[in-house]
Structure 1
């Protein structure tokens, strides 16, 4: 019989020595030293977790704004999405053009045209 098997059998007994060894083992491995009820274990679990403000998925979350914006512009171009603010701006530009007070066309440095 191995030494570990003897130790495991010894710990299962209800002697004072086995209880103290179990507590020591639990303290070494970061577990709850003494037996506790379910309500206290909930608190222990809560405090053993990493704080919310230090979790990478919480503080480093960055939504994909550029891709989402391009997708919405494309859907608007296809007529599947209505952007009331963009519609309003286009209507204001159209009315300004009819009054003869249109802004000059902006020239882009590269030949690439802006997204539709």
Structure 2
């Protein structure tokens, strides 16, 4: 089971829509802070603060290529989130399966009632 503290840091980082948008952009490939800031109405320092939160959570890393410091997505913490969510996914799938069975039973009963009335 994943470390709850790691999950807390990851979920806190994902709680902000700007940070989620940055991660979505980084799914497409590396980008500089300036490139990441383009779609947002905020200063470069504000975007940098969001990136620091993502870096602390292990979701983003910065490389070094001469003067260029590309940011990269690191999805490893998201695997931990996925692992945590799997238990809930199984819970809901079981509930959906039971609901489907009840609806199928109801439909069968309903069809039987109509056949007997004919």
Same fold (TM over 0.5): no
Larger RCO (CA under 8 A, 6+ residues apart)? 2
Larger radius of gyration: 1
Q: Going by fraction, where is helix more abundant, 1 or 2?
A: 2
Per the normalisation by structure 1, the TM-score is 0.31
Q: Going by fraction, where is strand more abundant, 1 or 2?
A: 2
